[in-house]
Amino acid sequence: MDKIISLFKNKDLYYQATKLALNGQKSGYERLEFLGDRVLGIVVAEMLYNAYPNEAEGLLAKRFVALTCGKTLAKITKTWNLESFGEKSAHCIRHNKSILSDVCESVIGALYLDQGLEKAKEFIIPIWEPLMLSYEHAPQDSKSQLQEYSQKNFGILPTYTLVEQHGQAHAPEFIVKLEAGPYIKMAKGGSIKKAEQEAAYLLLQEIEHDN
């Protein structure tokens, strides 16, 4: 039994948070993901507020994005030996950044429901605090990096267009189209901001590959 499930009094909440369809798609944890996103957000925001009392809001926001973006959440989830990942879909899941990110938030949401905010903070802070302290300066998020690159190399700003929105009210999904110079990238996320960040990250990866 992995260390994460041992934290839960109600093991059913854990299994609900990590339940995945065999095809690697979302199954039944969207509501917990929605909740976990908010719990993680308030805990990380409080950490940053206390750790950097002299930083302006804009710099705190950059740190916040770096600590809560999908790439960071996926890396964290990969380090967890989640029991539910023993299914046939394990390989697919472990290489799907979007699913790993979602599961990270759903586990946090489930733990919050199980034992409240203080227990969630006990879980979050030891994992996220070292990441927070690893940034000597406020890191640039993908959108900011792409904006600078696009202005310098293409002479224009990137444009983001909302293409589609679907899903239930508690778990919406947004699809955006990003255009920057000759590049076009589509991405999805649980909010428009997340979708835009994901698109910027993917486009930067493509640019890096091309160069």
Cα separation, 128 vs 47, in Å, equals 9
Spatial strand order of the sheet with 159-166 comes to 159-166, 173-180, 183-189
The catalytic residue among 33, 102, 105, 198 is: 105
Give the residue carrying structure tokens 């300066």: 137
- The strand pairing partners of 175, in sequence order, are 164, 188
Residue 136 catalytic? no
**Annotated catalytic residue 2:** no
Say if CB 47 and CB 125 are below 8 A apart.
Answer: yes
Beta-carbon-side half-sphere exposure of residue 206 (alpha carbons within 13 Å): 16
Catalytic residue among 30, 33, 37, 114: 37
28 three-state secondary structure: coil
| CA–CA gap between residue 19 and residue 128 (Å, rounded) | 24
* Residues classed as catalytic: 37, 105
